[in-house]
């Protein structure tokens, strides 16, 4: 586990990167948004748009604090994807670049990818490997078609694909995607489920120091948990998951998981965002400042302030120039805004999917669900991994399985754990009787 260090130079490097990422997004997204909407063409999927930023600026690119190059991939496709996911274009830019504030999660996975939250926690920036980047471009048309046909898809929602390149450093590819978890609700438990048992265990002892850690398949099974859904919701959920997995199998993708965030309605929000740190990147220079987001959550959003920001943004889009970026000490006031996404089945209950009993009456939990990490192609590395692990362990249980089997095992596991409380009790009784 690589966590973000506290050394100033490391912090500094991330801050410049974050600044450049946000500047690139702001300029390229507003450039595309400023144009009249039109239908997509095949060529739109191949487009790479390059901009060079420097202190001087020019007629195409506003001046920036640092020298860097930025590439925007398939800007029109992502504009249409954002529309399919019903994002408001002005809100999107405002969340990401209204102020230059990102909260850094460091690198939670093994892959070395970095995660950043937008200041209102609605969006995640994830740095991805070159192979993942190439792969997303390759399957973008299939993904786009799938989202068009399945507005309720559980797959990660991709809103942008970009690259930033700073002098003397490597190219950094990144995607902007949805944060599955709501900014306004406590998530009491998180599970990352693959349907495999080997190596899928978070050490329970470590929970003492890290009570909000992401747990895995074995932790789930040990707790005898299930996704409590009555017949109707269970069917909706599994039907969509099947369609999504079918696409992943066809595209030979694997290693993805179902991310499950559980809000316990009995416990409510009492614990806030305690323990997390909101890192404010200071565009004026110097080290980032840190805040406790819990204290931010306590603030009520002011209408006036929001209106002022909206004005700022419109101006920003028009002039393609940064406005008021020096306000580093003010904190985001909008964390409390609900994340209602009307019309989306799996976000219908407080931004998530509420547990139900057999008779469809509401249960005590809200689930926030989605299939994440779905850009790993079953390539040569996985084949090797399969070979080596296959020599020593039970073949069907290792996580690097060919995509068809991986998807089947995944679906099988998830359908097995999706049942109403009543169903689970009956099953246990039958087992006892036998």
Q: Shortest approach of ligand ATP to residue 101 CB, angstroms? A: 18
Cβ neighbour number for residue 275 with a 10 Å cutoff? 12
Task: Say which entry of Ca ion, ligand ATP, none residue 110 contacts (CB below 5 to 8 A, set by partner kind).
Answer: ligand ATP
Using the structure block, give the residue that is written with the tokens 């109403």: 420
* Binding region for Ca ion (CB under 5 A) out of 23-31, 52-60, 73-81, 373-381: 373-381
CB-wise, 146 or 216, nearer to ligand ATP?
Answer: 216
Q: What would the two tokens of residue 24 be?
A: 């690139």
Q: Which residue's Cβ has the minimum distance to ligand ATP?
A: 109
Looking up tokens 């805040």 gives 291
Query: C-beta of 32: minimal distance to Ca ion in Å?
Result: 28
Q: What phi, psi does 157 have (nearest 5°)?
A: -95, 115
Residue (365 or 373) nearer to Ca ion, CB: 373
Closer residue to Ca ion (CB): 112 or 285: 112
Q: Which of 105, 373, 382, 418 binds Ca ion (CB under 5 A)?
A: 373
Pick from ligand ATP, Ca ion, none: which does 108 bind, CB < 5 to 8 A by kind?
ligand ATP
Give the nearest distance from C-beta 127 to ligand ATP in angstroms: 9
CB of 72 or CB of 373, closer to Ca ion: 373
Which of 265, 258, 260 has the alpha carbon at shortest distance from 185? 265
Segment near Ca ion (CB under 5 A); pick from 82-90, 104-112, 342-350, 416-424:
104-112
What are the start-end ranges of the H helices in 202-324?
217-222, 231-250, 293-297, 303-319
DSSP 8-state class, residue 300: P
Nearer to ligand ATP, 110 or 431 (CB): 110
**Choosing among ligand ATP, Ca ion, none, which partner's interface includes residue 347 (Cβ < 5 to 8 Å by kind)?**
none
In angstroms, give the least distance from the CB of 261 to ligand ATP: 7
Closer of 115 and 159 to ligand ATP (Cβ): 115
Cβ nearer to Ca ion, comparing 97 with 196: 196
Q: Hey, what are 191's tokens?
A: 């599970």
Q: Quick one: three-class SS letters along 200-223?
A: CCCCHHHHCCCCCCEECHHHHHHC
Residue 232 CB-density burial (10 A; 0-12 exposed, 13-18 middle, 19+ buried): exposed
Least Å from the CB of residue 425 to ligand ATP? 30
Q: Closest approach of Cβ 202 to ligand ATP, in Å?
A: 10
Binding partner of 355, given ligand ATP, Ca ion, none, CB within 5-8 angstroms per partner class: none
Name which of residues 146 to 165 contact Ca ion (CB under 5 A).
none
For the beta carbon of residue 24, count every other beta carbon within 10 angstroms. Answer: 25
Nearest approach in angstroms of CB 107 to ligand ATP is 7
Determine the Cα–Cα distance for residues 109 and 194; give it in Å rounded to an integer.
14
Which of ligand ATP, Ca ion, none is residue 375 near (CB under 5 to 8 Å by kind)? none
Residue 260 in 3-state DSSP?
A: strand
If the CB atoms of residues 104 and 373 are measured against Ca ion, the closer one turns out to be: 373
Q: Distance between alpha carbon 350 and the CA centroid of its chain, in Å?
A: 18
d(CA 167, CA 20) in angstroms, rounded, equals 12
Of the candidate residues 111, 190, 214, 277, the single one contacting Ca ion (CB under 5 A): 111
Task: For Ca ion, give the closer residue by CB, 89 or 109.
Answer: 109
DSSP category for residue 378:
-
In angstroms, rounded to a whole number, what is the distance separating the alpha carbons of residues 22 and 16?
Answer: 10
Nearest distance, CB of residue 121 and ligand ATP, angstroms: 9
Evaluate the CA torsion angle 202, 239, 243, 81 in order and state its sign.
Answer: negative
- State in angstroms the smallest separation of the CB of 108 from ligand ATP: 4
Minimum CB separation of residue 356 from ligand ATP in Å reads 23
The DSSP secondary-structure symbol of 123 reads E
Binding interface with ligand ATP (CB under 6 A): 108-111, 113, 115, 124, 156, 177-181, 190, 192, 214, 259, 372-373
What are 292's two structure tokens? 């406790």
Q: Closest CB to ligand ATP among 125 and 316?
A: 125
Would you say 314 or 383 has its CB closer to Ca ion?
383
Q: What is the DSSP string of 14-63?
A: HHHHHHHHHHHHHHHHHHHHTSPP----GGGGT-EEEEEE-SS--SSS--
Question: What is the rounded distance in angstroms from the CA atom of residue 255 to the CA atom of residue 397?
Answer: 13
Q: Which stretch binds Ca ion (CB under 5 A): 87-95, 206-214, 366-374, 407-415?
A: 366-374
CA pair distance 186, 368, nearest whole angstrom: 11
Q: Which listed range, 74-82, 152-160, 198-206, 370-378, lies at the site for Ca ion (CB under 5 A)?
A: 370-378
Which positions touch Ca ion (CB under 5 A)?
111, 373
């Amino acid at each position: 586990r690589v966590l973000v260090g506290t050394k100033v130079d490391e912090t500094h490097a991330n801050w410049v990167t974050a600044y450049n990422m946000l500047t690139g997004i702001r300029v390229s997204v507003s450039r595309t948004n400023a144009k009249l909407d039109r239908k997509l063409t095949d060529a739109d999927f191949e487009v790479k748009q390059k901009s060079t930023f420097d202190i001087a600026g020019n007629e195409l690119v506003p001046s920036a604090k640092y020298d860097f190059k930025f590439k925007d991939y398939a800007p029109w496709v992502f504009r249409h994807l954002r529309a399919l996911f019903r994002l408001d274009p002005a809100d999107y830019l405002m969340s990401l670049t209204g102020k230059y504030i990102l909260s850094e999660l460091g690198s939670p996975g093994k892959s070395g990818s970095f995660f950043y939250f937008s200041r209102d926690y609605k969006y995640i920036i994830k740095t991805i490997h070159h192979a993942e980047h190439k792969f997303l471009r390759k399957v973008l048309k299939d993904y786009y078609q799938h989202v068009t046909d399945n507005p309720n898809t559980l797959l990660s929602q991709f809103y942008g694909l970009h690259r930033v390149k700073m002098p003397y450093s490597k190219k950094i590819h990144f995607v902007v995607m949805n944060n599955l978890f709501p900014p306004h609700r406590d998530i009491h438990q998180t599970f990352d489920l693959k349907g495999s048992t080997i190596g899928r265990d978070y050490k329970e002892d470590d929970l003492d120091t890290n009570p909000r850690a992401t747990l895995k398949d074995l932790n789930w099974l040990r707790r005898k948990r299930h996704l409590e859904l009555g017949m109707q919701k269970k069917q909706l959920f599994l039907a969509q998951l099947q369609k999504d997995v079918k696409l992943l199998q066809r595209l030979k993708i694997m290693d993805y998981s179902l991310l499950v965030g559980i809000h316990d309605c009995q416990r409510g929000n009492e614990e806030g965002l305690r323990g997390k740190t909101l890192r404010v990147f200071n565009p004026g220079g110097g080290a980032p400042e840190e805040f406790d987001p819990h204290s931010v959550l306590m603030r009520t959003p002011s209408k006036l302030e929001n209106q002022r920001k909206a004005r700022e943004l419109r101006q920003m889009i028009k002039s393609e120039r940064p406005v008021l970026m020096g306000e580093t000490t003010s904190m985001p006031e909008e964390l409390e805004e609900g994340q209602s996404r009307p019309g989306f089945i799996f976000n219908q209950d407080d931004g998530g999917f509420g547990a139900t009993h057999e008779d469809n009456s509401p249960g005590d939990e809200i689930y926030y669900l989605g299939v994440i990490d779905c850009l790993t192609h079953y390539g040569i590395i996985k084949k090797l991994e399969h070979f080596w692990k296959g020599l020593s362990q039970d073949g069907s249980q290792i996580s690097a399985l060919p995509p068809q089997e991986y998807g089947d095992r995944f679906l099988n596991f998830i359908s097995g754990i999706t049942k109403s409380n009543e169903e689970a009790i009956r099953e246990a009784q039958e087992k006892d009787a036998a």
